[in-house]
Structure 1
């Protein structure tokens, strides 16, 4: 059976970068996407252009639908695909506060950002039973002031679930989190937007995707490392 890494939300942004990095390190890839099939196909083509023999499969899942992840993983297993690394990167990022009714958006943010990583983690443990899980959280999950109330609540839950999973799934599965800070601007913003925000954090500068990929590789290489949240944020979570 061939070993693979599954990266959710791998059609764009951090998920895409992580998928390509893992492919360069020799991992076969299962690339998850929801509606961005063209973008996912381009990521697949880019990985296959590396010409290092890495195999790539596309996996379409709507995280707002009803999904049986045990069944999905069992089907992959029958195709000789063994997932050894699960990267929960897919997320939804929408502003919200106490002025809104909230229930519909709360359900959406909780489902995409917490419920699906929760269900994927449990299914991964049941079906494959061994490997690494990396959850992408957010540096703002360490704070209690936000203009993204529902989003941050979902990421706070994911942070705590990461720690619980690290205890419950050891020693066969290591579970860690990465909490990015000012790495990529939101849709519709540019780097100057991030540079302006960076004046309020200790290092007063912004990060880049290479810093995220270093964190991913550190987690995978460090066999005595579990239950940790790596804040790649220039010290933002401290203030």
Structure 2
């Protein structure tokens, strides 16, 4: 039988893919769950029937973010955790003077977490478990960059750096960590790239499924002594970027 908790977990971007899986799994584990969504989809009615509270939110402006913070403050007096899953995977525009892409991604990946974490800090400090959590979903590419999604990679890297700063600021009552995934769920474009040999495969293989992210979320929620960390959930992709030493001998590789 699932344990019952009082303080809800807030998941931004919780109506699709990884956010959706985490919302449902946490709810089944006894946690009250609040999710945000930007666009309507077929899952919302089912989520509401499962007892998950859904809030439509657009983080494209500071005014919208502040209004969202105010609504959360009205609806609950505490939070067990905030999981920042909302994201835009927008490619760069082929224009040297484009400013819109970076500005919009900065708003979602950095400004929204910045304001939400600070604005809802009192609710986290009032949680029923004693220690609360903030979890930022970043990306494998924050450490390696991207030729086609530089603005995306840069703003996710900023969020990863914010993780360390807020961990220092909010300790010891709130732990702040990040999860940096590689390819967790394949879509049709990924499958086509794999067939064409354009998709880099980590040592542990491709597309393990959403459960590996939930397992990492659960680990962070349950461990009282980890903060300021970024946990790579990438199948060992970091190893594929390391050049072989010049003295490396394949015959001695056991």
TM-score range, shorter chain: 0.7 to 0.9
Instruction: Indicate the structure with greater strand content.
Output: 1
Instruction: Please list the CA deviations of residues 151-201 of structure 1 after superposition, one character each: whole Å capped at 9, or x if unmatched.
Output: 111100000001111111000000111111011235x52545457555443
Q: Rg bigger for which structure? A: 2
SS at match of 1:207: coil
Contact 2:146 2:153 survives alignment (8 Å):
no
Q: What is the 5 A alignment of 1:35-54?
A: 35-36=39-40, 38-45=42-49, 48=50
Q: Does residue 72 of structure 2 align to residue 76 of structure 1?
A: no
Shift of 1:35: 1.9
Give distance in 2, aligned partners of 1:128 and 1:37.
29
SS at match of 2:82: strand
Shift of 1:102: 2.5
| Length-normalised TM-score, structure 2 | 0.81
Give distance in 2, aligned partners of 1:155 and 1:75.
30
Instruction: Please list the CA deviations of residues 104-144 of structure 1 after superposition, one character each: whole Å capped at 9, or x if unmatched.
Output: 11111111111111111111214442511111000111113
Q: What is the 5 A alignment of 1:1-239?
A: 2-36=6-40, 38-45=42-49, 48=50, 55-65=51-61, 66-67=63-64, 68=66, 69-77=68-76, 82-96=78-92, 99-129=95-125, 131-185=132-186, 188-191=188-191, 193=193, 196=197, 199-238=200-239, 239=241
> Which structure 2 segments of 5+ residues have no match?
127-131, 242-254
| Length-normalised TM-score, structure 1 | 0.86
Cα 1:83–1:200, aligned 2, differ >3 Å: closer, same or farther? same
> Which structure 1 segments of 5+ residues have no match?
49-54
Cα 1:75–1:37, aligned 2, differ >3 Å: closer, same or farther? farther
Task: Please tell me the root mean square deviation across aligned C-alpha atoms, in Å.
Answer: 2.2
